Amino acid sequence: MTKQPKTLKVASAQYPVGQPNTLSEWEQKVAVWVKNGAATGASLLVFPEYAAIEQAACFGPEVYGDLKLTLAKVAALTAERVQFHADLAKKHKVHILAGSGPLLKSDGRYVNAAQLITPDGAIGEQEKLVMTPFERDWGVTAGETVRVFKTKLGIFGIAICYDSEFPLLVRAMAEAGAEVVLVPSCTERVSGYHRVRTGSLARALENGIATVQSPTVGDAPWSAAVDFNAGAAGIYVPSEQGISDTGVLAEGTLNAAEWVTATVDLERLRRVRETGEMHNYCDWALQPGAPMRRVDVETISLI
């Protein structure tokens, strides 16, 4: 039986969307970010939703100025991009949630997928489950499976941006054992950032878990897809005496390009779920109308 880790040091990126001229230039940028993230001592680095779209800049305005061509070009780079992150994870001995991007399915649909990568090269993938209006217009479709990922660092869920605003999705992850839910996000306005932030705080409170938000930041007027980006990274837990009175372990400066780090006390969170000041996790079923049927969750082992 795998011993449960007591703590987790995590680094969440406030990742600035740039305009690289070549894929080599993009790789150099990401490599520096991973190096700096690993230098914080974190064992998990989290990158934001649609960070992969930055690659479209490498192919000129005929691609990055066209939403459909952006999807196709960035999706075609998925395997290469994931392997690049796997090489960095191995080099720096860290787990990485790579920035999400479009993934072309066998049936011809595009989904928004993020990959969790271990230093040993194991890869788990979560697709976004609820599409925003923009994504529907763009032609990005909903994924189908809720997953949790067993790693040497603990059990993780991934709720990509808008997914964090739906309690039943994250509840299913928590009931399947997730103690930390990663929330990569991409929002063009401060109001959108706060929606995801509020969702992340609420999901942490409801389930007695930690949530980790990682946003894109900065303007990228060259892009038809990620032209405006606003947000701050945050690491959230239940508001509980001895853990955090506010529920905020760490939070970045709005729209700054930086890493935000914190150490999550997983052992104490387990006690909160069982014997905390309030019993939100255990009392979930006491809500009038609480669903009796559980959401199916697939558990992926990355150990």
Return the active site residues: 49, 128, 161
255: amino acid identity, one letter: N
- The length of the chain in residues reads 303
Contact 8, 209 (CB under 8 A): no
Determine the Cα–Cα distance for residues 53 and 218; give it in Å rounded to an integer. 14
Q: Which residues pair with 97 in a beta bridge?
A: 46, 116
What is the CA 198 to chain-centroid distance, rounded? 15
Burial class of residue 194 in the structure, from the number of CB atoms within 10 Å of its CB (0-12 exposed, 13-18 middle, 19+ buried): middle
Determine the Cα–Cα distance for residues 50 and 52; give it in Å rounded to an integer. 5
Residue 277: CB partners within 8 Å, gap ≥ 6? 240, 241
Burial class of residue 67 in the structure, from the number of CB atoms within 10 Å of its CB (0-12 exposed, 13-18 middle, 19+ buried): middle
